[in-house]
Chain A
Amino acid sequence: GDSVTQTEGLVTLTKGLPVMLNCTYQTTYSPFLFWYVQHLNEAPKLLLKSSTDNKRTEHQGFYATLHKSSSSFHLQKSSVQLSDSALYFCALIRNNRIFFGDGTQLVVKP
C-alpha cells in the first residue's frame, strides 16, 4: 500500500550547519509530496510541495526535489537557524488520500 517513511526520529545540529531530512515513499501512482513543519505548541503548516520530477522547490531557505527514480523527496537547508527547531512531517497525497510520515524532530543548538 501507499506509505511514507522518515528514517530519522530526531536530528540534532549546531546552528549554521546544513541539514537533510529523509523522506521516501511507496506508491504505484504519480504522487504529490509535501513537507509540513510544526513548531512547539503550534499547528502544522505547509512548508513545501513537490513539483514535477527532478525539479527543485524552495521556500524559506528550505528546498526539496522529487526524485521518482528513487521515490524520494528529502528536505534540505544549507544553514540551519535556531528558529528551525521544529517537527517536520513528509506527506504523500495519492488518489485523494493523504499519508503522513512519523515526523522528524529537528533540534538546532547554538
Chain B
Amino acid sequence: ETAVFQTPNYHVTQVGNEVSFNCKQTLGHDTMYWYKQDSKKLLKIMFSYNNKQLIVNETVPRRFSPQSSDKAHLNLRIKSVEPEDSAVYLCASSLDRAAEQFFGPGTRLTVL
C-alpha cells in the first residue's frame, strides 16, 4: 500500500530548464528525504528535513533546493538542469531520523 506519493513519474527536459518534483506522505511521519539514484543504482542522500530543520548533503549542487510547506510535503526544485542530473529521484519518510524509511515510487528525470 503506497503511502509516499511522488509526481510526476517521468520527466524529460532540456539542459538549462527548471524542474520541480512533488512528494507527499500520509504516514504522519516527521522526517522526509530526497535521494538521487543514478544509472549505477547508487543511493545518494541529498536532503533530510525534520521539524523545519534542513540537513543538506554538502556534495549537492546549489541548483537543487528542497521546498516544504508542512511536514507531509517535501518538494524538490532543480533550477537549471544539467545532463548529469538524469537519474531517478526518490522521496522517503520516517517517523524520526532513527527509524526505518518508507520510499516513494520515484521520479525518473531525463535531461537531453
Which residues from B are CB-within-8-Å of A93?
A: 97-98
The 5 lowest CB-CB distance pairs between A and B, nearest first, are: A96-B97, A43-B103, A100-B43, A46-B100, A44-B103
Is B66 an interface residue, CB under 8 A from the partner?
no
Cβ–Cβ contact A87 & B100, under 8 A: no
Cβ–Cβ contact A98 & B104, under 8 A: no
How many interface residues does chain A have, given as a range?
Answer: 10 to 19
Which residues from B are CB-within-8-Å of A32?
A: 98
Which residue of chain A has its CB nearest to the CB of B2? A43
- Which residues from 78 to 110 on chain A have a C-beta closer than 8 Å to any C-beta of chain B? 87, 89, 93, 96-98, 100, 102-103, 105
Is B62 an interface residue, CB under 8 A from the partner?
no
Inter-chain CB contacts under 8 Å: number? 41
> Interface of chain A, helix or strand or loop or mixed?
strand
Contacts from B to A (Cβ < 8 Å): 4, 33, 41-43, 45, 48, 55, 90, 96-98, 100-106
Which residue of chain A has its CB nearest to the CB of B33? A98
Which residues from A are CB-within-8-Å of B96?
A: 96
Of A43, A87, A98, the residue contacting B105 (CB under 8 A) is A43
A sample of 7 more A-B contacts (CB under 8 A), given A43-B105, A98-B48, is A32-B98, A42-B105, A43-B103, A44-B103, A45-B103, A98-B33, A98-B97
Cβ–Cβ contact B100 & A103, under 8 A: no
Contacts from A to B (Cβ < 8 Å): 32, 34, 38, 42-46, 49, 87, 89, 93, 96-98, 100, 102-103, 105
Of A43, A87, A96, the residue contacting B90 (CB under 8 A) is A43
Q: What are 14 pairs between A and B in contact, CB < 8 Å?
A: A32-B98, A42-B105, A43-B103, A43-B104, A44-B43, A45-B102, A45-B103, A46-B101, A49-B100, A87-B41, A97-B55, A98-B33, A98-B48, A102-B42
Cβ–Cβ contact B100 & A97, under 8 A: no
Which residue of chain B has its CB nearest to the CB of A34? B100
Cβ–Cβ contact B43 & A103, under 8 A: yes
Quote the shortest CB–CB distance from A100 to chain B (angstroms): 5
